[in-house]
Amino acid sequence: MNDDPRLPDEALGRIDTLVAAIDRVEAAGIDYADTVSLYFLRNFAIDPVEPYLKFHILREGLEPAIRFGGYDTVLQEALDAESDLRQNSPDIIVMAFELATLDESFGTAGWDAAQSMGRLHEMFDAVREHTSSVVIINTMMPALLSADSVTIPEEPIAVEIGRINEWIDNYAASNSDRFVVADWDRLFRLAGRTEAIDQRFWRMSMAPFRGPFLDLYAREIMKVIRALKGKAKKCLVLDCDNTLWGGIVGEEGLGGIRLGESDWPDSAFSAFQRSVLAMEERGVLIALCSKNNPEDVWDVLQNHADCAIKQSHLAAWRVNWDDKASNLVEMAAELNLPLDSFVFVDDSPRECQLVRAALPQVTVLQVPPDLDGYAELLEKDGLFDTLSVSDEDKRRASLYQEERRRSEDRSVHVRVDDYLSSLEQTLRIWEATDADRARVAQLTQKTNQFNLTTKRYSEGQVEEFMRDRSTAVFTMSVGDRYGDLGTTGVLIARRDRGLAEVDTLLLSCRILGRRLEFAFVDRCLVHLEERWGSVRWKSEYRPTRKNAQVVNFWEGVGFSLEGESNGIKTYTRVAGQRVDRYRDVMSIDEAGMNAGSH
């Protein structure tokens, strides 16, 4: 829904047009595949952010469910098991605080940050200990809000605000499995004082923020929502000439292109390359799509002293004279990724428009003509943001290069069984431990294609599952003669007396087609039947735009269709059934299947 004409960017300019646009979409009765629930804990009126947040959530194809707690009631709501907060268990808790209400002595002579930090610490800890949601906390603005004015504070007070913000950053870093910072200090500076603060509404209703600031804040919250709900982009596709370097290498040669640290615009392209490599280190796949002679491009990557990006960083490439839309489609098939997980960067307005028209699923970014802000282009909207970075993320490019070699090997085998046997696969299955918590949560947040229920979980929620005696969380990895593919699958099962349900089953798209899914399910269910006794199994398939390939998976592992409602299929299976279609093509290590048992 990013290009939904009912939610144009222009609607953000006026609150009445914004609300009208949202009302039209909500009145359409759209059946959303997923909902994102947010709960605001606040000590002032942050409610005006709601329409801006709804706008961006709806454009992502998600249904917003936004609730606001009482004013300055954080401890009561966090500690009371019957509170609205605890009863609703939202995906995300947004803690929005400003200093004038947090500390009545704020801004007075001799004020220091100790009391404010103490109160924040108490509230953050209470929310961390009594909820499992992802939590967004804010830094404090450099503006002094008082009953009758908005001013920039004197240096001693500004220093103390800086102390608070440093403490908030450190708290989030120490609790990075769940806490994320929205930097109000930065947003205030981006919007500018006059566009950030409405002094009149602050005095009238304790609602200090203007539309531009609220929109920036909503966009920051959206970065977390995208990461949590599997909306983060996975592949960055780059043009070369006037994108990775200045100039046209085919005409100007290796020594004529603009790339380096000393001069402008050379330094702008070098800074952009560094931002690309920062994405690669976070697990984003990097690819090239360039109309060029291949030998010219490889010459730059291999031999230019200031070219930081090398062929080893690339998961795929199309360097030819074909149209770029067709090349993108080919790369999506090669990488086994949907096109809506791609971001394409090019300097040519014509090429950008052609890709937008041919492939509206692809997010297209054009190089700024004056290169202003080019290095920050990839970070601006949080398109690639995730809540954690795993070891698998850090070596993702090499994993895809290994997969290319597997594909080449596949072509020489006539029979699938011969190919699978030649891989010398070893499947390792174990019950998740604390060391796996972040990766399990990340896989639930990022895996879309082989995901039977597409339930998204935070680290806190995964931790709750692992502590629950009636729940089991299994993970898997696979290695073969080409290398170790890392942790690539999750199965979560829950028991209620004689009924056991597979809550979550997912596998990374990199390992599909190797019968690993059948082995994983079979061995997990066999193990749980030994632990839980004779149980009746239940499972579901919940359809999304991306998981059609697993629509009939449960039938293949012994489940029978019980019913279907609104596209959701419900299955059952009696205990004792087995699947044996994997046994001849892999070995299995089950030594860790009791590692995290209760």
224 and 311 co-located in one domain: no
Q: Are residues 121 and 209 in the same domain?
A: yes
Whether 284 and 180 share a structural domain:
no
Measure the CA–CA gap between 479 and 487, rounded to whole angstroms.
Answer: 10
Confidence tier at 274 by pLDDT (50, 70, 90): very high
| Domain at 96, CATH number | 3.40.50.1110
Taking a C-beta distance cutoff of 8 angstroms, is the pair 309, 273 a contact?
yes
The answer to whether residues 239 and 291 belong to one domain is yes
pLDDT surpassing 80 at residue 153:
no
Residue 270 near residue 371 (C-beta atoms within 8 A): no
CB 259 within 8 Å of CB 304 = yes
Q: Yes or no: say if 523 and 590 are a contact pair by the CB < 8 Å rule.
A: yes
- Average model confidence (pLDDT) for the chain? 92
Q: What CATH number corresponds to the domain at position 477? A: 3.40.630.30
Residue 146 confidence (pLDDT) above 90: no
Residues 247 and 202 in one domain: no
CB 293 within 8 A of CB 202: no
Q: Could you tell me the residue range of the domain that residue 135 belongs to? A: 9-228
- Residue 510 vs residue 541, higher pLDDT: 541
Cβ neighbours of residue 344 under 8 Å, at least 6 residues apart?
237, 289, 324, 328, 352, 355, 362, 363, 364, 365
Token pair listed for 161? 């605000």
pLDDT (0 to 100) of residue 561: 97
Which residue, 326, 357, 376, sits at the end of a domain? Answer: 376
The CATH number linked to 280 is 3.40.50.1000
- Flag whether 597 is in a domain: no
What stretches of 178-301 adopt beta strand conformation (E)? 179-182, 235-238, 285-291
Within a domain: residue 64?
yes
Which residues are CB-contacts of 255 (< 8 A; sequence separation ≥ 6)?
Answer: none
- The four Cα atoms 42, 211, 140, 223 give a dihedral, to 10 degrees, of 80
Q: How many domains are there within the chain? A: 3
Q: Are the beta carbons of 313 and 283 closer than 8 angstroms? A: no
User: Quick one: pLDDT at residue 147?
Assistant: 47
Residues 264 and 342 in one domain: yes
**Is residue 383 domain-resident?**
no
Indicate if 62 and 115 belong to the same structural domain.
Answer: yes
Strand pairing category for 536-541 and 314-320: unpaired
Can you give the length of the chain in residues?
598
- In sequence order, the 6+-apart residues with CB closer than 8 A to the CB of 182 are 136, 137, 138, 139, 217, 220, 221
Taking residues 580-584, what's their average pLDDT?
A: 85
Q: Kindly state whether residues 63 and 161 are assigned to the same domain.
A: yes
- 392 within some domain: no
Give every CB contact of residue 539 below 8 A, 6+ residues apart in sequence.
Answer: 452, 501, 502, 505, 554, 559, 570, 571, 572, 573
214 and 242 both lie in a single domain: no
By C-alpha distance, which of 454, 449, 518 is closest to 492? 454
- Looking at the structure, do residues 221 and 242 belong to the same domain, yes or no? no
Write out the two tokens for 440. 């399990």
Region 516-532: mean pLDDT is: 96
For residue 130, the model assigns a pLDDT of 96
- Any domain includes 381: no
331-366 confidence digits (pLDDT tens): 999 998 999 999 999 999 999 999 999 999 999 999
**Helix, coil or strand: residue 48:** helix
User: Per-residue pLDDT tens for 101-143?
Assistant: 898 888 777 888 999 999 999 999 999 999 999 999 999 986 6
| Domain final residue pick, 228, 252, 273 | 228
pLDDT at residue 262 in the model: 87
- Residue 511: count of CB within 10 angstroms of its CB: 22
Separation CA 262–CA 587 (nearest Å): 55
Residue 402 placed within a domain: no
The torsion angles phi and psi of 376, rounded to 5 degrees, stand at -95, 0
Res 2 pLDDT > 60: no
Based on the domain organization, do 352 and 430 belong to the same domain?
Answer: no
pLDDT digits (tens, 9 = 90+) for 388-436: 888 888 788 788 878 878 888 877 888 889 999 999 999 999 999 999 9
- For residue 241, is it within any domain? yes
In sequence order, what are the beta bridge partners of 490? 475, 506
What pLDDT, on the 0 to 100 scale, is given for residue 207? 83
Both 438 and 576 in a single domain? Answer: yes
Pairwise pLDDT comparison (86 vs 535), residue with the higher score: 86
Q: SS3 sequence, 359-406? A: CCCCEEEECCCCCCCHHHCCCCCCCCCCCCCCHHHHCHHHHHHHHHHH
Q: Answer with the one of 228, 243, 268 that is the final residue of a domain.
A: 228
User: Would you call the peptide bond into 543 cis, given omega within 30 degrees of 0 as the criterion?
Assistant: no
Nearest by Cα to 237 from 340, 145, 118: 340
Strands 568-574 and 560-565: antiparallel
Q: What is the pLDDT of residue 461?
A: 94
* The token pair that represents 558 in the structure block: 């012994």
Residue 546 CB: number of other CB atoms within 10 A?
A: 19
Whole-Å CA distances, 72 to 78, 96, 105, 132, 209 = 12, 10, 16, 21, 18
* Inter-CA distances, 436 with 232, 432, 462, 470, 478, Å: 21, 6, 10, 19, 15
Cβ atoms of residues 86 and 80 within 8 Å: yes
> The whole model's pTM is what?
0.79
CA pair distance 430, 428, nearest whole angstrom: 7
User: Does 480 fall in a domain?
Assistant: yes
